């Protein structure tokens, strides 16, 4: 393409007045090997434009965010906490009940022991009563 | 909308979203994260997508807003290191190597532009969208786009010529 035309297009380009097709023309000119020496600094510009358009997003897109996973993790953690608190509470209750049971058992044992003492004494008394009755009956 | 339909509508512009995010956020990792996050957001709003005239334009608008938010929160949370408080005497070897690598120089020049101009250069000169589409994406008037674009192109050209002459002399 003739130089005058390119210069005219460049001026339009710098005023933001070129169309996309005109910009393509400019690009083609500056990517070719025969650029006029006084316009050589534009080469880098248009080169950069076309190379940077080749940059690609290489990672795969995940539609499930990692935040979602965190949400589930918190739910799981709170569940575990709840269960462990519950079982701990149960265990505690059980221990408490066992302790109370042991105490009552001891108390009852003591009571029964003492009662037993009483029955022995009553037995003796009974013996005393029967002999007394025997003796007093004879006198009647 | 099923997953396969969604992917079919969304896949053609995934690279464009990534490149736009990278233009604004600069780092590749950040841009990848942003792209991932944006697709997830689109997927969550899949029922509403059909209401938009162009899903691609809507996605680009979302990308722009998302990246601006990220930049804002980054600026709020970190102090950025700016090496503008010292000047180097004479170009170091490193710098001269960079100057020769004029393609990456263009990248740096674009990076120095204001956000809005960066966006417009990306959408017009790299992705080659029509002014009408850009106006829809950025929700500004076409004339404003032309003005910004012209400013950005002129700035880049001036800087390029300056660097070019500097390289020769």
Q: Are B21 and B97 in a shared domain?
A: no
**Residue A47: exposed, middle, or buried by beta-carbon count in 10 A (0-12, 13-18, 19+)?**
middle
Q: Are B75 and B99 in a shared domain?
A: no
Whether A107 has a pLDDT exceeding 60, the answer reads yes
Q: Are B100 and B70 in a shared domain?
A: no
Of A16, A47, A65, the CB nearest to B40: A65
C-alpha span between B42 and B108 (Å, rounded): 31
A62 neighbourhood in chain B, CB within 8 Å: 36, 40
Q: Are B44 and B16 in a shared domain?
A: yes
Whether B100 has a pLDDT exceeding 70, the answer reads no
* B13 and A CB contact within 8 Å: no
| Average pLDDT along chain B | 83
Q: Are B96 and B75 in a shared domain?
A: no
What's residue B88's pLDDT? 47
Of A51, A53, A56, the CB nearest to B103: A51
**Mean pLDDT for the stretch of residues B5-17:** 88
How many structural domains compose chain B?
2
State the pLDDT confidence band at A105, using cuts at 50, 70 and 90: very high
What's residue B82's pLDDT? 52
Q: Find the domain containing B95 and state its range.
A: 89-169
Boundary (domain end) residue, out of B29, B58, B80: B80
CB contact under 8 A, B14 and A16: no
What's residue A13's pLDDT? 93
Q: Are B26 and B99 in a shared domain?
A: no
User: For position B125, which CATH number holds?
Assistant: 1.10.10.10
Q: Give the whole-number percent of chain A exceeding pLDDT 90.
A: 42
Q: Classify B101 as helix, strand or coil.
A: coil
B103 neighbourhood in chain A, CB within 8 Å: 44, 47-48, 51
Q: Which residue has the higher pLDDT, B149 or B101?
A: B149
Which of A49-53, A107-111, A129-133 shows the highest mean pLDDT?
A: A107-111
CA R_g for chain B:
19
Whether this model's ipTM surpasses 0.90 comes out as no
Q: Are B50 and B110 in a shared domain?
A: no
User: For position B7, which CATH number holds?
Assistant: 1.10.1740.10
Contacts of A31 (CB under 8 A, 6+ apart): A43, A46, A47, A50
Q: Are B67 and B98 in a shared domain?
A: no
A51-90 pLDDT, tens digit per residue, is 888 888 888 877 765 566 788 899 999 999 999 999 999 9
| Average pLDDT along chain A | 88
Which long-range contacts does B43-48 make (Cβ < 8 Å, 24+ apart)? B43/A63, B43/B6, B46/B1, B46/B6, B47/B1
Q: Are B109 and B140 in a shared domain?
A: yes
SS3 of chain B: helix, strand, coil, percent, to 5: 80, 0, 20
Q: Are B112 and B71 in a shared domain?
A: no
Boundary (domain end) residue, out of B22, B53, B80: B80
A82-96 pLDDT, tens digit per residue, is 999 999 999 999 999
Of A20, A44, A65, the CB nearest to B106: A44
Q: Are B45 and B114 in a shared domain?
A: no
C-alpha span between A75 and B35 (Å, rounded): 28
Phi-psi region of B89 (alpha: psi -120 to 50; beta: other; left: phi over 0): beta
B56-65 pLDDT, tens digit per residue, is 999 999 999 9
Q: Are B75 and B96 in a shared domain?
A: no
Q: Where are the domains of chain A?
A: 3-52, 77-140
């Amino acid at each position: 393409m003739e130089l005058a035309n390119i210069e005219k297009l460049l001026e339009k380009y710098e005023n933001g007045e070129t169309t996309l097709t005109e910009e393509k023309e400019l690009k083609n000119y500056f990517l070719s090997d025969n650029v006029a020496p006084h316009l050589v600094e534009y080469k880098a510009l248009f080169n950069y434009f076309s190379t940077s358009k080749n940059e690609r997003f290489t990672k795969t897109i995940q539609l499930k965010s990692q935040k979602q996973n965190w949400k589930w993790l918190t739910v799981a953690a709170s569940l575990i906490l709840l269960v462990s608190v519950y079982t701990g509470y149960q265990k505690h209750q059980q221990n408490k009940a066992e302790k109370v049971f042991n105490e009552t058992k001891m108390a009852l044992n003591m009571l029964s022991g003492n009662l037993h003492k009483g029955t022995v004494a009553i037995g003796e008394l009974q013996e005393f009563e029967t002999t007394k009755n025997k003796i007093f009956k004879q006198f009647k | 909308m099923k997953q396969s339909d969604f992917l079919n509508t969304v896949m053609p512009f995934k690279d464009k979203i990534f490149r736009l995010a990278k233009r604004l956020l600069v780092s590749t990792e950040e841009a990848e994260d942003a792209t991932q996050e944006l697709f997830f957001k689109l997927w969550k709003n899949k029922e509403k997508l059909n209401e938009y005239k162009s899903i691609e334009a809507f996605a680009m608008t979302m990308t722009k807003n998302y990246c601006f938010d990220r930049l804002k929160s980054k600026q709020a949370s970190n102090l950025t290191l700016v090496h503008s408080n010292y000047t180097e005497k004479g170009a170091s070897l490193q710098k001269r190597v960079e100057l020769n690598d004029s393609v990456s120089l263009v990248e740096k020049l674009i990076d120095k532009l204001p956000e809005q101009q960066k966006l417009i250069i990306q959408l017009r000169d790299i992705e080659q969208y029509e002014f009408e589409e850009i106006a829809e994406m950025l929700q500004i008037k076409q004339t404003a786009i032309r003005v910004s674009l012209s400013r950005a192109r002129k700035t880049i050209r001036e800087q390029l010529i300056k660097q070019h002459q500097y390289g020769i002399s």
